[in-house]
Amino acid sequence: MRDGARGSQASLTARFALDPVRAFRHNRRIMLHVNDLTYRIGPRTLLDQATVALPDGARAGLVGRNGTGKTTLFKLILGETVPDNGSVSVRKGARLGHVAQEAPGGGHSLLDFVLAADTERAELLQRAETETDAHEIAHIQTRLADIDAHSAPARAARILAGLGFDHAAQQQRCSAFSGGWRMRIALAAVLFSEPDLLLLDEPTNYLDLEGVMWLETYLARYPHTVLVISHDRDLLNTAVDTIIHLENGKLSAYRGGYDRFERQRLERQALNLKLKKKQEDERRRIQGFIDRFRAKATKARQAQSRIKLLEKMQPISAMVDAAVVPFDIPNPAKALSPPIVAMEEASVGYAPGAPVLSALNLRIDQDDRIGLLGSNGNGKSTFAKLLTGRLASDSGRIKRSHKMEVAYFAQHQLDELRPSESPYDHVRSLMPDATEAQIRARTAQLGFGPDKADTATEKLSGGEKARLLIGLATFHGPHLLILDEPTNHLDADSRDALIQALNVFEGAVILISHDRRLIEATTDRLWLVSNGTVAPFEGDMEEYRRFLLDSRKGDRSDKPKEAPKEPSLSKEEKRKLLAKRRAELAPLKKEIDTLDKTIIATEKRIAAIDNALADPDLFTKDPEKGAVLSKERADMVASLNKAEEKWLAKSEKYEALKSADDIAA
């Protein structure tokens, strides 16, 4: 959808989300209504009379610190957990979709597993094979055409391809893939089923950067309602039009993406602090009057009225964020002479004669900040293991400084923490000769104060485990720090703290991450892992995004295909060809301009209808007008979609002709 239409939809979404009462009056438009929801776990209240409403078609991001209750809210919406008070209502007849915790396995191929997620299509196809009644057969075939069942394999294949599965992988059994890849398969299945309300809990945790970029685009165009838990700022800025913030048990809705939410929240914090100070001054003034005149008969009535006024005055709570414990990454004790790593025609693999990466000619200095790009499976982790010495080179030369300390963090290492031991125990094993006070102080530096230092690691959250593991890996001040997806379990504020720590760290950093903001904020060089080697990528993250889009227009290989060369033509043939193409360009440009005007006019009309439908009294005062406007809006949206499809097709044809014209000229 173009910016104008999306803007009007975002405005409507925010109005409903910010005003649940208005939204509830229009319950035919509401997909999800959380009303005065309260939920407790033991003495702790996760949700305290929380209220929010989402209209049909909204794309909302649910954010909040780790442990505030976001996943619990999802369980309440899905009916897996019962609230202590309040209610959660989903539009009658709406289909809910979420990624199950159990990763798919078994003998089904990836494509068949994803296709089976559309249960209606699967049932209709099965009935079509056995039905004998002519009328029923006609009904089945009509319904199959209505749901576009025959294009389903192509749609399923596109989703799987976007999540990193090529054609060959799509034909393999689900059981042939590891847990992380199976979660991608489960995500593909729920996306293909296109539920009316799509619930996604940290969907990027199992994706690489390329998969995250694809998912952002997919969710931004999703035709139904989306509620996604995520700490990925780029996804929340690109794919959603509303941010729902969960804090202190309350739900607050903000219009726009994450950056806008952050600005609005800071403004609200400043306003609340001013109002709180003003209220406290007023309370002191009233209390002073009461204290002075309570005992005087002539002023007793006035004093009593002010006592009642003071009792009714609801205190304004200041919105003050809890401080985020910083990451402490010690600097190396002594700088090393450059380079700290140098490779000449090196290769590495897991079996002799079968290199995963080869022709490696690279150099790393101690002040380097390098982001590794490339799809999962291309060898990023293999390259990281080569740098750490966990894998030896098969051929070529690798020169490392013999005094170099290397720290390596990868998500799978979370399982290497000793579950029954506390952060204090883990630190003590690295400081065998230190005093109790020194060990406690160092444990606190890692972010584990008296309240968490003695907690068994099995009871820590994912974010706390990641923080502990980063602290243990960098304990002795490394010269080279390799981070493989360090943010999967970190909330947005903790990610900011990690960025700050990396930017003051004086050693070299190699970063593998699907978080574009982390890469952009901490690295100054990009290396691309593809086609069996590692080479510098000359460009920034936006150029890499364009590179990926260009690559995926072809066969999804890591390098875009070259355009086929035209056969040699004589000058006269070239002149005639140019004349023909230029003759086609003018009317095509005219059609594009006409469609552009139509799209703009349609978007304006939709925005006007949305403003009219936003009137809470419209369906009470003039229900007939409301019905007419609703039908007109549906027709206008359908017309807009058709016009946009034509505009895209004509524009692509125009650009192709113009490009060929330029080449020929």
How does 468-507 read in b/e, with b if 16+ C-beta sit within 10 Å? bbbbbbbbebbbbbbbbbbbbbbbbbbbbbbbebbeebeb
* Mean pLDDT (whole number) for 549-569: 47
pLDDT-wise least confident of 113-127, 163-177, 272-286:
272-286
Say whether both 119 and 91 belong to one domain. Answer: no
Strands across the sheet containing 406-410: 406-410, 480-484, 508-512, 369-373, 525-530, 533-536
Say whether both 268 and 229 belong to one domain. Answer: no
User: Which pair of tokens denotes residue 259?
Assistant: 């950056």
Whether 78 and 96 have beta carbons less than 8 Å apart is answered as: yes
Q: Could you tell me which residues come within 8 angstroms of residue 645 by beta carbon, excluding any fewer than 6 positions away? A: none
Q: What is the pLDDT of residue 579?
A: 64
Q: What confidence tier does 130 reach under pLDDT thresholds 50, 70, 90?
A: confident
Assigned domain for 317 exists: no
Distances (CA, A) of 555 to 48, 182, 208, 391, 558: 51, 23, 19, 32, 9
Taking the model in full, what pTM does it have? 0.67
Nearest to 523 by CA among 505, 511, 507: 511
Distances (CA, A) of 590 to 580, 593, 646, 651, 655: 17, 5, 13, 11, 14
pLDDT digits (tens, 9 = 90+) for 636-663: 877 877 887 787 677 767 766 665 544 4
Say whether both 84 and 211 belong to one domain. Answer: yes
Q: Higher pLDDT residue, 429 or 264?
A: 429
Range of the domain at 78: 1-95+195-256
Assigned domain for 53 exists: yes
Assigned domain for 560 exists: no
Say whether both 229 and 162 belong to one domain. Answer: no
User: Which pair of tokens denotes residue 323?
Assistant: 């401080």
- What CATH number is associated with residue 227? 3.40.50.300
What is the rounded distance in angstroms from the CA atom of residue 78 to the CA atom of residue 68?
Answer: 18
Say whether both 289 and 307 belong to one domain. Answer: yes
What is the rounded distance in angstroms from the CA atom of residue 343 to the CA atom of residue 346?
Answer: 6
Say whether both 345 and 487 belong to one domain. Answer: yes
Give the torsion sign (CA, 64, 66, 67, 73).
positive
- What CATH number is associated with residue 593? 1.10.287
pLDDT digits (tens, 9 = 90+) for 300-311: 555 666 666 666
* Mean pLDDT (whole number) for 292-306: 59
Assigned domain for 45 exists: yes
Q: What are phi and psi of 648, to 5 degrees?
A: -65, -45
Per DSSP, 417 falls in state: S
Paired sense of beta strands 354-360 and 341-351, if any: antiparallel
Say whether both 240 and 297 belong to one domain. Answer: no
Whether 307 and 454 have beta carbons less than 8 Å apart is answered as: no
* Mean pLDDT (whole number) for 35-56: 91
Q: Could you tell me which residues come within 8 angstroms of residue 637 by beta carbon, excluding any fewer than 6 positions away? A: 606
Assigned domain for 231 exists: yes
How many Å from the N-terminal Cα to the C-terminal Cα in the chain?
35
Q: What confidence tier does 14 reach under pLDDT thresholds 50, 70, 90?
A: very low
Say whether both 150 and 297 belong to one domain. Answer: no
Q: What is the pLDDT of residue 70?
A: 92
Tokens 């369906």 locate to 619
Neighbours of 237 (CB within 10 A): 18
Whether 200 and 99 have beta carbons less than 8 Å apart is answered as: yes
Whether 243 and 261 have beta carbons less than 8 Å apart is answered as: yes
Helical (H) or strand (E) element with 73: helix 70-78
- Single-letter amino acid code for the residue at 638: A
Assigned domain for 525 exists: yes
Q: What is the pLDDT of residue 230?
A: 92
Q: What is the pLDDT of residue 415?
A: 76
Assigned domain for 109 exists: yes
Nearest to 113 by CA among 203, 212, 182: 182
Q: What are phi and psi of 371, to 5 degrees?
A: -100, 130
What is the rounded distance in angstroms from the CA atom of residue 597 to the CA atom of residue 605?
Answer: 12
Tokens 């003050």 locate to 320
Q: What is the pLDDT of residue 323?
A: 63
Nearest to 66 by CA among 489, 379, 485, 545: 489
What percentage of residues in the chain have a pLDDT greater than 70?
A: 80
Assigned domain for 134 exists: yes
Q: What are phi and psi of 15, to 5 degrees?
A: -60, -45
Total domains present in the chain = 5
pLDDT digits (tens, 9 = 90+) for 349-377: 998 888 999 999 999 999 899 999 998 88
* Mean pLDDT (whole number) for 318-335: 77
pLDDT digits (tens, 9 = 90+) for 255-288: 899 989 888 887 776 766 666 666 666 667 667 7
Q: What is the pLDDT of residue 31?
A: 92
Q: What is the pLDDT of residue 662?
A: 46
pLDDT digits (tens, 9 = 90+) for 174-230: 888 877 888 999 999 999 999 999 999 999 988 888 889 999 999 999 999 999 999
Instruction: Let me know if 166 is exposed, middle or buried by CB neighbors in 10 A (0-12, 13-18, 19+).
Output: middle
Per DSSP, 455 falls in state: S
What is the rounded distance in angstroms from the CA atom of residue 388 to the CA atom of residue 114?
Answer: 38
* Longest CA span, the chain: 113
**CA angle centred on 258, ends 253 and 261, rounded to 5°:** 45
User: Which pair of tokens denotes residue 231?
Assistant: 């700490």
* Mean pLDDT (whole number) for 79-104: 88
Q: Higher pLDDT residue, 318 or 283?
A: 283
Paired sense of beta strands 30-41 and 44-55, if any: antiparallel
Strands across the sheet containing 197-201: 96-98, 197-201, 225-229, 59-63, 242-247, 250-255
pLDDT-wise least confident of 153-157, 241-245, 417-421, 588-592:
588-592
Whether 522 and 376 have beta carbons less than 8 Å apart is answered as: no
Instruction: Let me know if 297 is exposed, middle or buried by CB neighbors in 10 A (0-12, 13-18, 19+).
Output: exposed
What is the rounded distance in angstroms from the CA atom of residue 362 to the CA atom of residue 574?
Answer: 46
Per DSSP, 33 falls in state: E
User: Which pair of tokens denotes residue 535?
Assistant: 């080479």
Say whether both 8 and 146 belong to one domain. Answer: no
Tokens 């033991």 locate to 42
Classify residue 246 as left (phi > 0), alpha (psi -120 to 50) or beta: beta
User: Which pair of tokens denotes residue 632?
Assistant: 């007109």
Helices 179-193, 152-162: inter-axial angle, 10-degree rounding: 140
The residue from 296, 312, 328 where one domain ends is 312
- Single-letter amino acid code for the residue at 6: R
pLDDT-wise least confident of 74-83, 298-307, 492-501, 605-614:
298-307
Say whether both 358 and 394 belong to one domain. Answer: yes
What is the rounded distance in angstroms from the CA atom of residue 608 to the CA atom of residue 563?
Answer: 45
Give the torsion sign (CA, 19, 24, 29, 30).
positive
User: Which pair of tokens denotes residue 538?
Assistant: 């000359």
Say whether both 292 and 406 belong to one domain. Answer: no
Q: What is the pLDDT of residue 343?
A: 94
Given a cut of 60, whether residue 566 has pLDDT beyond it is no
pLDDT digits (tens, 9 = 90+) for 430-476: 999 899 999 999 999 998 988 889 999 988 888 888 999 999 999 99
Given a cut of 70, whether residue 296 has pLDDT beyond it is no
Give the torsion sign (CA, 357, 363, 366, 370).
negative
Mean pLDDT of the residues in the chain:
82
Whether 616 and 30 have beta carbons less than 8 Å apart is answered as: no
| Radius of gyration of the chain, Cα coordinates, nearest whole angstrom | 30
Say whether both 112 and 31 belong to one domain. Answer: no
Ordered alpha helix ranges (H), 221-330: 233-238, 258-293, 300-312
Helical (H) or strand (E) element with 357: strand 354-360
